[in-house]
């Protein structure tokens, strides 16, 4: 029996070493051999399950785990699943470990971080909150505040109650020292906290922050240039006197203590923010920049964010509307300095000279005597209270009009029926999100696809390329913005991380008459520093299945 157990342990150790080396198939073979030697080995079972795919192969291992697995076994299994990119299985295994050993706060914390990295924010917050320590409650509250930026009111309404419950729990905890007292004092200075508790809202904090209540754009006027073009029809203009504009994040502050975040880039990571310290539950808190400039003339805010999708879909329609509106012809356009190449190209193509532009560095405060803002009507709100500035928030008719204007501007026509099949490659990226592009390309090459990198291509070159496609396959990313230019009826196949299924490329495709398809990841590897950095693998056979369908339809 001793020799038998020893053999089993050796096989398990070999399997673990092979799993860490990325040799899943070999690891699975060793774990399977260990189970044959010792059918009750939960170490072999917990090692084997992440490395095999079929239910039949999982049978002995699954039986061993369900009958004999301890909390430690399930926790080890959860970690192995996470390393193998099987996040949902990892969460399920860790959940079982926590149920078997509820006293293990460290296991619950691991599970919470997996939930958070998988964009299951409310579940992650609940998981941390159940641990109950002051440290975990404070982190849970930070996550709850962050989650209000990532979810719309329509998709989840429990953020307010979740945050309020956490606030009350933290404030009602007995004092445990200076650090806890400092946390409570800081929490009481949050305007959203004061409002939720029915207390007076502080005008500012001892840390130099100022607080503003978020309000929607007011005093709107419909587009003043009658036209069949949806951009001109839908454009609304808002006029503000003596407003303050914070460049870069494009927050507009008013003298009455309110702020407009219509153009606010609220999803910036904290380390990249110039002013915004908190945006949550209808309030924003800022630190004021040192540099201030004045504009005594008339200005109109455009704003900017250095991302191809946001420039083309969020900002460019506004710029086209500004240029078309007679009432805005005498106003300087407020724009960021240092435009990316694609933005500089389109601004030049539109014939906008330096005399029409008021450029701002960041962080800078602009005191504007007469400022106009434009939009295309109310947009969905996040739970934080700010308008959604992503996820295809532009009206479909505006996107369709944008397509027609840009095709005319660049002297290009989309083909009646596209002829090219392209795969957008990101292999030249420093940090490609899709880890197995080579496998996908091998499958697509056999179907007559071209592998295309968009790095360095001008807007003109991208329009010309996409105006003649039959099928586009590409990972979720800025390159799929060019769905804007594809022929009607073309197919857009989006490869994406299964933990986050965003719909803005689908909305672009639908607006221009293209057909959109999804292929979610088979494995997702969570980034330890930011969930926006998750990387993933796509099953080539699933891509082939979708492409085959597209070719037949």
In this structure, are 301 and 363 located in the same domain?
yes
Q: Is residue 199 part of a domain?
A: no
The per-residue pLDDT for 397 is 95
Residues 6 or more apart whose CB falls under 8 angstroms from that of 414 comprise 407, 467, 468, 485, 486, 487, 488
Question: Is the model more confident about 481 or about 186?
Answer: 481
In this structure, are 351 and 486 located in the same domain?
no
Average pLDDT over residues 495-517: 94
Q: Is residue 179 part of a domain?
A: yes
Helix residue ranges per DSSP H, 410-497: 437-445, 459-466
Q: Is residue 358 part of a domain?
A: yes
The per-residue pLDDT for 64 is 45
In this structure, are 417 and 388 located in the same domain?
no
Q: pLDDT class for 60, splitting at 50, 70, 90?
A: very low
Parent domain of 494: 410-552
Q: Is residue 260 part of a domain?
A: yes
* Radius of gyration for the chain, computed over Cα atoms and rounded to the nearest angstrom: 27
Question: Is the model more confident about 395 or about 37?
Answer: 395
* Cβ neighbours, 10 Å, residue 228: 7
Helix axes 55-68, 71-83, angle to 10 degrees: 150
Question: Is the model more confident about 4 or about 102?
Answer: 102
In this structure, are 176 and 320 located in the same domain?
no
d(CA 391, CA 276): 22
CATH number, domain at 484? 3.40.50
Q: Is residue 90 part of a domain?
A: no
Residue 40 has pLDDT above 70, yes or no: no
Q: Give me the phi and psi of 369, to 5 degrees please.
A: -70, -35
The per-residue pLDDT for 89 is 86
Q: How many domains does the chain have?
A: 3
Q: pTM here?
A: 0.85
Residue 14 has pLDDT above 80, yes or no: no
In this structure, are 481 and 452 located in the same domain?
yes
Residue 207 has pLDDT above 50, yes or no: yes
Of 368, 393, 418, the last residue of a domain is 393
SS3 268: coil
For residue range 241-282, what is the model confidence (pLDDT) as tens digits?
999 999 888 889 998 888 887 766 655 555 566 787 777 777
Of 146, 173, 188, the last residue of a domain is 188
The per-residue pLDDT for 201 is 77
The per-residue pLDDT for 52 is 45
Average pLDDT over residues 58-86: 71
Residue 320 has pLDDT above 80, yes or no: yes
Question: Is the model more confident about 57 or about 513?
Answer: 513
Distances (CA, A) of 243 to 230, 265, 431: 29, 18, 41
Helix residue ranges per DSSP H, 473-539: 504-511
Q: Is residue 131 part of a domain?
A: yes
Give the tokens for residue 431: 């940090």
- Which long-range contacts (C-beta less than 8 Å, at least 24 apart) are formed by 265-269? 265/303, 265/305, 265/389, 266/149, 266/382, 266/384, 266/386, 266/389, 267/149, 267/150, 267/389, 267/390, 269/530
Instruction: Work out the percent of the chain whose per-residue pLDDT is above 90.
Output: 49
Q: pLDDT class for 53, splitting at 50, 70, 90?
A: very low
* Cβ neighbours, 10 Å, residue 457: 17
In this structure, are 354 and 486 located in the same domain?
no
The per-residue pLDDT for 153 is 53
Q: Is residue 518 part of a domain?
A: yes
Q: What is the 3-state secondary structure (H, E, C) of 67-129?
A: HHCCHHHHHHHHHHHHHCCCHHHHHHHHHHHHHHCCCCHHHHHHHHHHHHHCCCHHHHHHHHH
Residue 47 has pLDDT above 60, yes or no: no
Q: pLDDT class for 166, splitting at 50, 70, 90?
A: confident
In this structure, are 258 and 363 located in the same domain?
yes
Q: Is residue 267 part of a domain?
A: yes
């Amino acid at each position: 029996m001793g020799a038998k157990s020893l053999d089993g342990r050796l096989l398990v150790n070999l399997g673990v070493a092979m799993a860490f080396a990325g040799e899943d198939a070999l690891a699975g073979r060793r774990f399977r051999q260990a189970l044959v030697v010792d059918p009750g080995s939960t170490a072999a079972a917990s090692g084997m399950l992440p490395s095999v795919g079929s239910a039949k192969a999982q049978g002995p291992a699954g039986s061993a785990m369900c009958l004999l697995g301890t909390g430690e076994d399930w926790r080890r299994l959860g970690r192995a699943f996470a390393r193998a990119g099987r996040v949902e299985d990892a969460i399920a295994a860790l959940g079982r470990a926590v149920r078997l050993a509820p006293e293990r706060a460290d296991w619950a914390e691991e599970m919470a971080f997996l939930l958070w990295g998988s964009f299951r924010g409310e579940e992650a917050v609940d998981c941390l909150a159940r641990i109950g320590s002051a440290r975990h409650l404070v982190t849970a509250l930070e996550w709850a505040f962050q989650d209000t930026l990532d979810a719309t009111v329509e998709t989840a309404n429990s953020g307010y109650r979740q945050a309020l419950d956490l606030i009350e729990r933290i404030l009602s905890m007995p004092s445990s020292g200076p650090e806890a007292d400092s946390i409570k004092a800081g929490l009481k200075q949050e305007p959203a906290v004061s409002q939720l508790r029915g207390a007076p809202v502080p005008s500012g904090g001892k840390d130099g922050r100022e607080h503003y209540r978020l309000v929607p754009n007011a005093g709107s006027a419909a587009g003043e240039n009658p036209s069949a073009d949806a951009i001109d029809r839908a454009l609304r203009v808002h006029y503000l006197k003596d407003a303050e504009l914070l460049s870069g994040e494009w927050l507009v502050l008013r003298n009455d203590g309110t702020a407009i975040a219509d153009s606010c880039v609220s999803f910036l990571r904290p380390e990249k923010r110039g002013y915004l310290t908190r945006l949550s539950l209808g309030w924003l808190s800022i630190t004021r920049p040192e540099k201030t400039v004045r504009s005594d003339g008339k200005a109109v805010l455009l704003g900017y964010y250095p991302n191809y999708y946001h420039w083309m879909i969020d900002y460019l329609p506004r710029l086209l509307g500004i240029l078309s509106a007679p009432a805005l012809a005498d106003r300087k356009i407020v724009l960021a300095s240092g435009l990316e190449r694609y933005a500089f190209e389109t601004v030049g193509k539109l014939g906008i000279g330096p005399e029409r532009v008021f450029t701002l560095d960041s962080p800078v405060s602009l005191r504007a005597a007469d400022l106009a803002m434009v939009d295309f009507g109310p947009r969905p709100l996040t739970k934080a209270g700010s308008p959604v500035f992503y996820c295809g928030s532009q009206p479909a008719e505006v996107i369709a009009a944008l397509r027609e204007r840009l095709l005319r501007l660049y002297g290009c026509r989309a083909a009646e029926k596209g002829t090219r099949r392209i795969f957008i490659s990101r292999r030249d990226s420093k940090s490609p999100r899709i880890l197995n592009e080579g496998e996908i390309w091998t499958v697509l090459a056999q179907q007559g696809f071209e592998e295309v990198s968009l790095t360095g291509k001008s807007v003109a070159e991208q329009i010309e390329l996409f105006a003649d496609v039959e099928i586009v396959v590409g990972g979720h990313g800025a390159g799929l913005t060019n769905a804007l230019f594809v022929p009607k009826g073309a197919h857009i196949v989006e490869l994406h991380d299964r933990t986050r299924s965003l719909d803005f490329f689908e909305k672009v495709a639908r607006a221009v008459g293209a057909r959109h398809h999804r292929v979610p990841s088979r494995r997702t590897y969570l980034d330890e520093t930011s969930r926006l950095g998750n990387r993933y693998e796509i099953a080539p056979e699933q891509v082939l299945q979708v492409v085959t369908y597209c070719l037949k339809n």
